[in-house]
């Protein structure tokens, strides 16, 4: 049976998760993180995707990106996969796959849902117990979104821009949002919709996305997976 294409709608943000095979590390040293970010920036530009937020964890990656053309996000991820994996395997004298199958993604509604996705991504190291504050983790977009540290690969989403009338106001408002954390039910809802590759948002948004992709975008309830100490999803 043919696999369904990714829900990839121009102008609609996607929460993307790519995991290491069998939850094994996909970054072994600083050079790996730097190389992945380089490939991410190049691929996003080449395939017309706006990157809003990211975090690189030891064994998986979270991205929030908006494709500007049909299939842009899938092509971006394929390009990263080819180039990064080849470099990783060469550097670490290994062969074979690095990623656990195809990436997972969820279409994300604007405003409240997009900003919740920003927070979910940049608070991932805190939830995983790696650090007590998102600013202490080097491999995320937090420094750019919360403090304005220049990062050319990041494009603010309109929901982020609406947080204030100046860069300083937006950054302050965003830091306040992060300080509030993210309710566990919202984090779990985003995880569920991403695993099932559905649309996360209002009922109206879900119906709109069903019309766009011509298939159901309603998530199915499932039991909570067993947690793994020190690992966050």
pLDDT tens profile 65-91: 999 999 999 999 999 999 999 999 999
Q: What is the pLDDT of residue 117?
A: 98
Provide the token pair at 157. 């989403």
To which residue do tokens 């490939």 refer? Answer: 39
Strand 60-67 to 49-56 pairing: antiparallel
What does the pLDDT look like over 173-230, one tens digit per residue? 999 999 999 999 999 999 999 999 999 999 999 999 999 887 788 777 765 444 433 4
Neighbours of 187 (CB within 10 A): 19
What does the pLDDT look like over 76-134, one tens digit per residue? 999 999 999 999 999 999 999 999 988 999 999 988 899 999 999 999 999 999 999 99
**52: Cβ contacts below 8 Å, ≥ 6 apart:** 13, 64, 65, 66, 114, 118, 141, 154, 155, 156, 157, 160
pTM of the model: 0.91
Q: What is the pLDDT of residue 229?
A: 39
**What is the CATH topology of the domain spanning 14-206?**
Alpha-Beta Plaits (3.30.70)
List the domain boundaries for the chain. Answer: 14-206
Beta-bridged to residue 51, according to DSSP, are 65, 154
In the DSSP assignment, the letter for residue 5 is P
């Amino acid at each position: 049976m043919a696999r369904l294409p990714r829900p990839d709608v121009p102008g609609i943000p996607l929460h993307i998760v790519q995991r290491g095979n069998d939850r094994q590390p996909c970054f072994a040293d600083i050079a790996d993180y730097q190389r992945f970010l380089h490939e991410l920036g190049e691929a996003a530009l080449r395939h017309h995707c706006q990157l809003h937020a990211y975090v690189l964890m030891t064994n998986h990656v979270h991205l929030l990106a908006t494709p500007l053309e049909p299939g842009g996000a899938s092509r971006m991820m394929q390009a990263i996969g080819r180039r990064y994996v080849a470099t990783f395997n060469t550097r670490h004298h290994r062969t074979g796959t690095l990623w656990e199958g195809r990436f997972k993604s969820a279409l994300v509604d604007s405003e409240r849902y997009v900003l919740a996705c920003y927070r979910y991504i940049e608070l991932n190291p805190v939830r995983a117990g790696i650090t007590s504050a998102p600013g202490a983790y080097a491999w995320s977009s937090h420094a750019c979104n919360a403090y304005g540290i220049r990062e050319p690969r990041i494009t603010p989403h309109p929901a982020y821009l609406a947080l204030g009338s100046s860069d300083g106001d937006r950054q302050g408002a965003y830091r306040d949002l992060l300080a509030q954390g993210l309710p566990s039910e919202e984090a779990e809802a985003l995880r569920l919709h991403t695993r099932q590759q559905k649309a996360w948002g209002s009922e109206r948004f879900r119906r709109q996305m069903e019309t766009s992709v011509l298939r159901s975008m309603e998530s199915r309830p499932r039991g909570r997976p067993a947690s793994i100490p020190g690992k966050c999803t």
